[in-house]
């Protein structure tokens, strides 16, 4: 998170230093909450959501089940800190002030929780443009499927497909295969960009591509297809 132009209060000097410890703690909590409100919440790429979205789309394109992604590490849920009531002996001005400040700090901190949740959105993969691309890829996959099964083509670590063994294809079919591969790769690239754009973060395109590449390779392993790893080697 990048702090904005907010000044940090000092608590070591002044009247606060002489205040009872409870009030000092409550004021510190309130100041922290206000300072937290002055920072910009970074929006992190939801990698686990991207892999789940990739599995759904790969299933739609291929018409077959895909392996489930590994269970992502569970993020700790924000826990509310129980408020303690000051002892009866502290009643009076300082007691009331502490209670009011603690309550204000709690409300300020609670107001930040929705912003943190909003920073990790569920991915939208159902726009008309995305659905059209998936439909075109599904139709084209029916013609590509025999080439995957025979090992002529495979998936790559860049989230695309490539010809592995052109020599296994009759000469008259090579141009058609090359066109099918080029069109499928064009749609794959458009798909990644559309998903990133549909979720308001075009800068996520490379991350979306990487998430899909991982899931395409996982599907290839299950289906018995070839895939080309990051080192450029074909693996079955």
Summarised one tens digit per residue, pLDDT across range 70-93 is 434 334 444 544 555 555 555 555
Evaluate whether 163 touches 151 at the Cβ level (below 8 Å).
Answer: no
What is the pLDDT averaged over residues 44-69? 86
Looking at mean pLDDT, say which of 18-22, 91-95, 123-127 comes out highest: 123-127
Evaluate whether 197 touches 130 at the Cβ level (below 8 Å).
Answer: no
pLDDT confidence of residue 122: 84
C-alpha triplet 145, 149, 155: angle, nearest 5°? 75
Evaluate whether 156 touches 234 at the Cβ level (below 8 Å).
Answer: no
In sequence order, what are the beta bridge partners of 227? 155, 235
Tell me the pTM: 0.64
- Which residue did the predictor score with more confidence, 230 or 5? 230
* 236, containing H or E segment: none
pLDDT confidence of residue 21: 58
| Cα distance between residue 180 and residue 201, in whole Å | 29
- Helix (H/G/I), strand (E/B), else coil: 143: helix
Q: What percent of the chain has pLDDT over 90?
A: 56
In sequence order, what are the beta bridge partners of 153? 163
Evaluate whether 192 touches 199 at the Cβ level (below 8 Å).
Answer: no
| Cα distance between residue 104 and residue 29, in whole Å | 9
Helix axes 205-223, 171-198, angle to 10 degrees: 130
Summarised one tens digit per residue, pLDDT across range 30-41 is 455 444 544 445
Q: 67 pLDDT exceeds 60? A: no
Evaluate whether 19 touches 13 at the Cβ level (below 8 Å).
Answer: no
Intra-chain end-to-end CA distance of the chain, in Å: 43
- Helix (H/G/I), strand (E/B), else coil: 132: helix
Q: 155 pLDDT exceeds 60? A: yes
Q: 221 pLDDT exceeds 60? A: yes
| Cα distance between residue 128 and residue 132, in whole Å | 6
pLDDT confidence of residue 191: 98
Q: 18 pLDDT exceeds 70? A: no
- Helix (H/G/I), strand (E/B), else coil: 199: coil
């Amino acid at each position: 998170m990048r702090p904005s132009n907010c000044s940090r209060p000092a608590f070591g000097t002044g009247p606060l230093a002489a205040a009872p410890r409870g009030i000092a703690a409550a004021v510190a909590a309130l100041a922290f909450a206000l300072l937290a409100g002055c920072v910009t919440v970074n929006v992190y790429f939801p990698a686990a959501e991207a892999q789940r979205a990739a599995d759904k789309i790969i299933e739609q394109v291929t018409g077959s089940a895909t392996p489930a992604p590994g269970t992502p590490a569970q993020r700790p849920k924000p826990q509310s800190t129980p408020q303690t009531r000051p002892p009866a002996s502290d009643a009076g001005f300082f007691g009331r002030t502490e209670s009011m400040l603690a309550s204000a700090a709690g409300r300020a901190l609670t107001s930040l929780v929705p912003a943190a949740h909003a920073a990790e959105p569920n991915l939208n993969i159902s726009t008309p443009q995305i659905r059209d691309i998936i439909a075109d890829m599904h139709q084209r996959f029916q013609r590509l499927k025999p080439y995957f099964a025979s090992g002529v083509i495979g998936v790559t670590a860049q989230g695309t497909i490539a010809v592995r063994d052109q020599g296994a294809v009759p000469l008259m079919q090579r141009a058609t295969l090359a066109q099918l591969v080029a069109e499928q790769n064009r749609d794959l690239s458009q798909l990644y960009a559309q998903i990133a754009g549909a979720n308001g973060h075009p800068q996520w395109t490379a991350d979306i591509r990487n998430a899909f590449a991982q899931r395409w390779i996982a599907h290839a392993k299950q289906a018995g297809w070839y895939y080309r790893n990051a080192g450029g080697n074909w693996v079955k």
